[in-house]
Homo-oligomer: A and B are copies of this chain.
Amino acid sequence: MADDQLGAARDGVAGPDDVQPYLDAFAAIDADPAHVLLVAAHSDDVVGTLQLSFLPGLARRGALRAQIEAVRVRADHRSGGLGSAMVTWALAESRRRGCALVQLTSDKRRGAAHRFYARLGFTASHEGFKLYL
């Protein structure tokens, strides 16, 4: 998270107390089968993450939709196909769970990421709105 151009300012751990919110969030994700946290490891190092969430809804005849968040690949492991492998796994898992669609948002400043998602079959058909509380 900290090893990310746009995320560095809002994430990071300065001391032991800063770890607890991340542990609490991990426990919440881990406890709920509607959320899957994919971790890519190289030896003992975490080099990639992806969160996949499954959301019930009434639209599209009550279809389950999958949502991808927190796609991160460590800088020294980029451009080697790891991101593609993680997203491809997410698509297969979404298909296996019977989802009608997979969705994600990507900051408009991440041009390379947009080309990456387009190559994997995603369409930038929507505006992604955010409001920080």
Contact = CB atoms under 8 A, between A and B. Distances in A.
Interface of A: 1, 7, 10-11, 18, 21-26, 28-29, 32, 34-35, 37, 49, 51, 53, 55-63, 67, 69-70, 91, 94-95, 99-108, 114, 117, 120-133
Contact of A28 (B7, B56, B124): B56
A35 B34 CA distance: 12
27 contacts: A22-B62, A25-B63, A26-B58, A29-B56, A29-B57, A35-B55, A51-B58, A53-B55, A55-B67, A55-B69, A57-B70, A91-B131, A94-B133, A100-B133, A101-B130, A101-B133, A103-B105, A105-B129, A107-B127, A108-B125, A108-B126, A108-B127, A123-B131, A124-B128, A124-B129, A125-B128, A127-B127
B128 A25 contact: no
A103 B63 CA distance: 20
A103 B129 contact: yes
A128 B104 CA distance: 6
Which of A28, A106, A107 has the most chain B CB within a 10 Å cutoff? A28
Nearest to A61: B21
Contact of A102 (B67, B125, B133): B133
